[in-house]
A and B are shown apart, each in its own frame.
Chain A
């Protein structure tokens, strides 16, 4: 019995060694392995599909800015081995994930909630470490039958339904694992540790590292929200916070820089905040949306579209006083942009529902004037007919 146990432990150690002998890409002995090349090919296939799915957030300037932050974090030789590229996904849920070939996808949801460049750098550094330290390859080597694992994983996730089940079909197996479960606790901790060192070396204030995750956790707890992704899950946020706080305690961070770049960051990503709030409205997460729009309005106080969407958040939430709030915001939108077709439409419908037909007719007609090719033109004409016949 002892012999069998010894053999089993020996085998386990061998397996562990096989999985962990992959040095980071910065190591002198670094060379790509065959299985890793296959993972890269698979990553490229999954990304090709994702990139043409319509889920990408199309703003080259914001994307360039995030890539600029990423570039500052790594020595140039890393980019020679792994061409790290940050892309943005139009998704209000809180997440970011990396493919083994260095392509990192960051959701608009998490960008919109970050407060400064140092926090965004923390997130990117964590994800970059998964690539530079070859975590995907280590993860897959630790599983005996990778193909069966991938298939089984996707089937299991597919059965969950709702957000993540359907997402699995778009991301592919590698993307789904990276986006939802992440890696083992040891590898995630390594990503925190190495990432922490990267941001500190780049001159960012390391005390900002846990703040994004504390902030996200508070937000999820306040609204009792459960999200399907890695950075939207309480245990993972707790682990990140604990790791970063321990690193701050252990490190003499006084010797590091204190760069936060809050104002630059907010200026660069302000449009993402509003666009993400619109996604939150679509998802029915009205408190999230309201918070996002108010954050955007603090940066751009005279934005007609922002007032329209604030009106939408109130209107769709539909509480007792929400309708009045929505009308006020639609009117403010029109005051700022007299050609705000959608605001006329929503004002018209709000008055129509309230039986105020004169006002309803006025605004609905204005909507059709400013949006003559509207997909819902027949609907509006139908309501105008109803108003006319009721006179």
Chain B
């Protein structure tokens, strides 16, 4: 019994240090200037760099929201964004960056469509790829440029079963997205 009592605080400490926290409902990120409605029962990775939420685990489905400076340096190409770019041109820079990633295998763009979120005009790319373990993923990558920032809202899940399962949740999150600054 004494042992259990000794171990309990340890569990409590580990519990406090967990990298995930439950989310759901309205979510306002004041640091990055946006608000969205998050699905109930999902978990958020505890980081202040971006919003990463999942329900069953990041590999099974995730929604990712990030704001970057327009001077963002891409990991896989030397390309740059600039404010005069059309949304379609921004989409092409993103496509080139993703397809130049050597862990993204058999990359294929299925759709590349315009996206309007409030007053912001952007793009919505639907693509598939295989990861280095040969698992096929399907992903939606939405993005738009403002004067200072590049916002992205993404959804990724294994193509089989999982993508279809949570696509409506993602569309609700996307539809609720508002810039607040």
Contact = CB atoms under 8 A, between A and B. Distances in A.
B100 A282 contact: yes
Contacts of B114: 378-379, 382
A53 B96 contact: no
Nearest to B73: A162
Contact of B102 (A55, A284, A375): A55
Contacts of B100: 282-283
Interface residues of B, number: 32
B6 to A, nearest CB: 35
Nearest to A381: B114
Interface string A302-337: 000000000000001010000000000000000000
Contact of A55 (B79, B105, B113, B123): B105
20 contacts: A49-B134, A52-B134, A54-B105, A55-B102, A162-B75, A166-B76, A166-B102, A169-B132, A283-B77, A283-B79, A284-B78, A284-B80, A316-B79, A318-B82, A349-B88, A375-B109, A375-B110, A378-B113, A379-B114, A383-B88
A379 B102 contact: no
A163 B102 contact: yes
Contacts of A316: 79
B84 interface: yes
Given A166-B102, A169-B103, A378 B111 contact: yes
Contact of A379 (B79, B88, B110): B88
* Interface residues on chain A, size class: 20 to 34
Interface in B54-93: 75-80, 82, 84, 86-89, 91
B101 interface: yes
B77 A282 contact: yes
Max count, chain B CB within 10 A of own CB: residue among A52, A167, A284 = A284
A161 interface: yes
A82 B109 CA distance: 40
Contacts of A59: none
Interface in A265-306: 282-285
Interface of B: 75-80, 82, 84, 86-89, 91, 96, 99-103, 105-107, 109-114, 123, 130, 132, 134
A379 B95 CA distance: 15
Interface hub of A161, A170, A376 (most chain B Cβ within 10 A): A376
B84 A353 contact: yes
A54 B101 contact: no
B79 A284 contact: yes
Given A167-B102, A170-B105, A282-B96, A379 B123 contact: yes
Contact of B103 (A170, A349, A382): A170
B60 to A, nearest CB: 20
B105 A353 contact: no
A322 to B, nearest CB: 13
Contacts of B96: 282-284
Contact of A170 (B75, B82, B84, B102): B102
Contacts of B102: 55, 163, 166-167, 169-170
B175 to A, nearest CB: 18
B144 to A, nearest CB: 13
Contacts of B82: 318
Contacts of A55: 102, 105
Contacts of B89: 349
B128 to A, nearest CB: 12
Contact of B78 (A166, A170, A283): A283
A229 B86 CA distance: 35
Given A52-B134, A166-B103, A378-B114, 15 more contacts: A54-B107, A161-B75, A166-B102, A282-B96, A282-B100, A285-B78, A349-B88, A353-B84, A375-B109, A376-B91, A378-B113, A379-B91, A379-B114, A383-B86, A383-B88
